[in-house]
Structure formats: structure tokens, C-alpha cells
Amino acid sequence: MEVKEEVEFKLEKEDNMKNLILESPLPDCVKSEPCWLGIDEAGRGPVLGPMVYGICFSPISMKEKFGEMGFADSKTLTEDQRESIFDKINEANDMIGWMVEVLSPTFISTSMLRRTKYNLNALSHDCAIRLVALAIERGANIAEVYVDTVGDPTKYQEKLKGIFPSIDITVAKKADSLYPIVSAASICAKVTRDKAVKKWKFQEEINTEDLQYGSGYPADPNTKSFLANNMDYVFGFPQFVRFSWSTAAIILEKDAAPVKWEDDDEDENADKSNMALTSFFYIIYIQVLNRNDTIKLFIQISTTGTITIKVYSLSVVYLDNITVYR
């Protein structure tokens, strides 16, 4: 199986909730010769689909030959042009290696919405660091790293230099238009994201026939339509949607079941470290007389211990004996 087909196969078969690392075979020359490595991402802004980070690396001695391959920032190319250049990258597997990490929408949302915030910049930094470290672990002799900045370029460069002290680090704005190796990484990331979006396997019961969700950017009419037509009143959006984006949050706030979260300022003097672990767990028993029905529960637990349960049924159903044990 060729690399491109393997990418498509894995994107279609893997669990969409999990992050995924894809990579090319490692050329022998990158193990023995000093290499330059570029880092870029695709899909930072969309409300739909994954964000993909990519790296591309090749021997420094082949920079001139590398530059002749016609790399450019993926954002300036058509989809067909990106596919064509991605094919060239894989055909030049004797001198070019690449890796990408697909960060799932679920991972992005849970990271940004957890109590200890893990913002998109920190997430991006860690992903870039992880890919560089993985390339080195695989045996690539990385001597130079070029990366498009995320946040303050000086601080980002210092951070990378502290982790990889023996590598010459360059963090620059618009690095994807300045350094061909970053442009190549950009293309690997963008092509992978495009395929991930097209091959997306919905875990939810969604009619995908003639489904149009556009580019995933909030201003796209098809994206707006998808969000409006695929929101569950209780469970919100499919995993394809980044719940943490304001576009999605506003719709949920307006049209979904109301949810009251614990107020961070409430009872701030309480010693939460001494709360028993069992105080957070509840067992819910439901006796359903119509066994063929599908039941959805909306559970609201207040900080005072009051529990509200709303039961939603997909057909007429009789429920009895809803009991909550604390």
C-alpha cells in the first residue's frame, strides 16, 4: 500500500475521538546527514474537524534540489495543486520524510474547556515539540528547525531552544512563505486535514447522504447550516464540532438544554481537597417498560447536592422507578 493510500485508510478506520500520528518511511540519508525541518499546521480556525500539525525534513545538503520542487504555502494553492505536490513529496521518499499529528475536535474541546485551561497556543506548542522529538527518536539527524510562530515568536523560540539546545531554531511570522521546508510541512498538514474531513466517520446517527458542511469556518454558509441542523437538544453537536469555539457555544447557549455549571466563585472558602471521592458519583437505575425504545437522560447536579433528571424518549414510553443513590 502506498503512503497516500495508507493515510486515507487510517483516517477512515481510526477512532475519530483519538489523536492520530501518520508518517512516511524514514529515508536513510536523513539518519546520516544533518537535516532541516519545517513545522506548520492546518485547521486552527475552523469550528469543524481536526487541527493537523505537520513536519517535513530533508538533508541540508539537498536544499537547492528541495527548492526546485515548487513548494508554496498551502493556503495559496488549490486542492489539486496541494495533492500534486504531496504526491511529489512521497515520490521523493529517498530524500524527504514527513509526519503529521491529527488532533481530534474532541481532544481540542476537552483541552480548552477543562478546569485547568489548556489553550490552543499551548496545545500547538506541545504538538510541535512532540513531532520534532519523535523525528529525532526515529533516527533523523535534525540540525535546523523552522516554524511559523504561535504567540510571541521570541518566547516560542526560547522555549524550543530550551528543549532542543543542540538544534538551530528559527521562529518567524509567515515562515510558510519564507522557508520551503515549512511550506512542505504546511502541504502535508493541509492535505491530511482535507482527507480527514472528507473521510470523517460520524459516530452519531446522522444522514450523511448529500451532507454538506463546507470549509468548517464559521462564516461558511454550509457550515452554518450544518451546525443549525445537527444539534441535539440534550447532547449538543456531533464529535465533528469543536464545542469550545464561540460559534458552537453561542448556538448551544441559545437553543440547547440549559446547563448550570458550578460557579467558580461559589463557596470559594470550602476545602475541596477534603471532599470524599464518592461524593462525585451517583448510580442511576431506570426501569423501562418499553424495551425497544431509546432513552436519553439529561442530568443536572447542583453544588448543594440537588439532582434534576429529565428523560427524553424517541417514542411514547412509560418510565417508572427513577431512583438516585448518593
> What is the per-residue pLDDT across 96-135, written as a single tens digit (0 to 9) for each?
999 999 999 999 999 988 878 888 999 999 999 999 999 9
Closest CA to 195 of 99, 102, 326, 267: 102
> What is the per-residue pLDDT across 2-29, written as a single tens digit (0 to 9) for each?
666 777 777 776 677 889 999 999 999 9
301: β partners: 307
What pLDDT score was predicted for residue 125?
Answer: 94
Per the annotation, binding residues are: 40-41, 148
Cβ atoms 47, 250 nearer than 8 A: no
Cα separation of 321 and 302, whole Å?
Answer: 22
Residues in the chain, overall count: 326
The domains of the chain are located at: 3-198, 276-325
Cβ neighbours around 17 below 10 Å, total: 12
Closest CA to 12 of 23, 22, 26, 24: 22
> What is the per-residue pLDDT across 148-166, written as a single tens digit (0 to 9) for each?
988 899 999 999 999 999 9
Per the annotation, binding residues for a divalent metal cation are: 40-41, 148
What pLDDT score was predicted for residue 198?
Answer: 86
Q: Could you tell me the fold of the domain covering 3-198?
A: Nucleotidyltransferase; domain 5 (3.30.420)
Closest CA to 103 of 28, 166, 16: 16
Cα separation of 125 and 177, whole Å?
Answer: 20
